[in-house]
Amino acid sequence: MEARLQAHVEAIEAFAHAAQLPERQAAMRKVKKQLPAVAALVDFWWQGVRQDLAHAAVSPPWQRWAQEALLPRRYWEHQVTRTRCARRKAKMQRVLERVRAEFDAHGLTRSLPPQALEDWQTWATQHVGAFQRASSAVEGRNGYLAGMHRQQRGLPKRRYKVWTALHNFDMRAADGTTPAARFFKHAFPDLFETVCSNVGALPQPRQRKRGVMLRH
């Protein structure tokens, strides 16, 4: 996995050089530094998927179907619901339509009874969720905060606390739950409404003296 990622990064560098685009050496160094960690997490996740299939004594054709048809479809279905960028969502939607068509046309998919297909979908959803949680430490909130630290030479402690609260109590998964709700196993009040309920009356604008106003 690391070699494949490195090849993609080198291809991007070559394209940028050929197109005479501005060189972003600092950004590329940062990306290359993250490659081993990202690759290790992805390799570990795939190892878990294969061990799970082997433990269930799934035959090789069904293993390939699960890895090459089922998991890609469930992954892109999950990703499309998470992005807010319209352009990125449109690209993901096109990919999802392609992998969904391949999944539906696959002979093994068409041979499954409804209950068995639902069981496979549940299995895939669990593994896709595990992949999202595992990769977030590198590419999610922590990676974003690391970049902000680098750009601003440190973050104010109050802002760091605010971002932590937003991440745990306001970021929602496809099922509408927050990280805090999933961790503590119960729902919490809406963060925005809670903050607004604790905001008192705003101060009135300063009133200028009438004599000063007349002179102007």
Residue 89 in any domain: the answer is yes
Q: Which one, of 76, 65, 67, lies nearest residue 112 by Cα?
A: 65
Residue 113 in any domain: the answer is yes
Residue 70 in any domain: the answer is yes
Confidence of residue 126 (pLDDT cuts 50, 70, 90): confident
Confidence of residue 140 (pLDDT cuts 50, 70, 90): low
23 DSSP 8-state letter: P
Residue 184 in any domain: the answer is no
Confidence of residue 184 (pLDDT cuts 50, 70, 90): confident
Identify whether residues 53 and 63 lie together within a single domain.
Answer: no
pLDDT at position 133, please?
60
Assess whether pLDDT exceeds 80 at residue 122.
yes
Find the helix packing angle between 141-152 and 114-139, rounded to 10°: 20
The total of structural domains in the chain comes to 3
Identify whether residues 49 and 101 lie together within a single domain.
Answer: no
8 Å CB contact between 69 and 46: no
pLDDT at position 208, please?
67
Domain ranges, residue 150: 142-174
Position with higher pLDDT, 154 vs 76 = 76
Assess whether pLDDT exceeds 90 at residue 199.
no
Across the chain, mean pLDDT equals 81
Position with higher pLDDT, 23 vs 194 = 194
Residue type, 178: T
pLDDT at position 1, please?
74
Residue 109 in any domain: the answer is yes
With a pLDDT cut of 90, the percent of the chain lying above it is 25
Residue ending a domain, choose from 10, 35, 57: 57
pLDDT at position 214, please?
52
Residue ending a domain, choose from 117, 139, 161: 139
8 Å CB contact between 46 and 13: no
Identify whether residues 133 and 86 lie together within a single domain.
Answer: yes
Assess whether pLDDT exceeds 90 at residue 40.
no
Identify whether residues 51 and 92 lie together within a single domain.
Answer: no
Position with higher pLDDT, 50 vs 165 = 50
Identify whether residues 160 and 90 lie together within a single domain.
Answer: no
Length of the chain: 216
Element (H, E) at 80: helix 71-80
Q: How far apart are CA 194 and CA 95, in angstroms?
A: 39
Residue 31 in any domain: the answer is yes
Identify whether residues 67 and 133 lie together within a single domain.
Answer: yes
- 90-108 confidence digits (pLDDT tens): 999 999 999 999 999 999 9
Position with higher pLDDT, 15 vs 132 = 15
